[in-house]
Every structure is written in structure tokens, then in C-alpha cells.
Amino acid sequence: MATLDNNSSLKTNTMGQTRKLGGTKRIALVAHDHKKKDLIDWAEYNKKVLSLHELVATGTTGNLLEEKLNLPVKRVYSGPLGGDQQIGAMIAEEKIDFIVFFWDPMEAQPHDSDVKALLRLAVAWNILIACNRTTADFLLTSVLMQEEYVIDLPDYSSYLKRKLI
């Protein structure tokens, strides 16, 4: 299990492990080229709420967000150059609490396998994920967004102990 910072902590309950999300969430912001404007518009509209959280973004999206919001944004590589995988690793290391990923359903991406892996990790680790403005609005404005919240972590022990041969 990854070492955690002060923003979250692990506990064990009768169902397995849980993780406490702090009041300040670590939000990853990702957008495909044809969805960058939508994400930037959404972020500008929600700047006040986003300013209460830690932001991480892939390449160009991060540059655009910092410029438009005038807020600090930790940037990783562009998605096709490994940024999606970096965000995925941060999910597995419990360094991301919420991902807003405006992906383009109408256009194939050269890094579709990375996109699928990122979405799979978000679901596998039971983190918040919004893939469109409506869901992002509902999640960001939830009363739970500013509070500590305990999430259940899936128990993958049987998968890890499976017989391979």
C-alpha cells in the first residue's frame, strides 16, 4: 500500500479497508482536444469552489487552466505522452480523490488504451469520476465535497491470491 500524506488515511473495517478523503480534495482535470474548451469553461464557472482544492491536470489542459483560473495546477505530461498513465498511477497511490475527465466520445484517440486504463483505475479504486459537465456540476456542488468522507476500498485480495498455473 502506498504511503499517504495528511489528506487521507486508511482504516480497516469489517468490509475491508476504507480511505478517508479530507475536506480538501485532490482533483485531476483531463480533457481531450475537442473537449478542452468545455472543461475550461466549466472550471472558470466553478473557480471559487475549485480554489478550495488541489488541482492536477495533464499537459496542455494544465497550462490552459493555470492561465484562465490563476490558480496553482500541478501538471503531468500530456495524455498521449504518458499523462493519463501518471494520473492513473496517482489514483492507485491514493493521491487523487476525484477526476473530471471530459473525453470525446465521437473521436478515436491514438492513446485509447491509456484512456480506458485511466477510467478502469478510477472505477477499480472507487474514486469520484465525472465525464461530462452535468455529472461534474452535481459532484462539485455536493454537500459532501467540502467535508471529510470515508470511501470503501474494494477487496482485491482474492484476485491477488488467485492461482495462475
Is 38 annotated as catalytic?
A: no
Phi-psi region of 126 (alpha: psi -120 to 50; beta: other; left: phi over 0): left
Q: CA 96, CA 29: separation in Å to the nearest integer?
A: 10
Evaluate whether 155 touches 15 at the Cβ level (below 8 Å): yes
Q: CA 36, CA 53: separation in Å to the nearest integer?
A: 20
Which grid cell is 10? 486508511
Q: CA 102, CA 132: separation in Å to the nearest integer?
A: 6
Catalytic residue among 5, 33, 41, 84: 84
Instruction: Point out the residues that are catalytic.
Output: 84
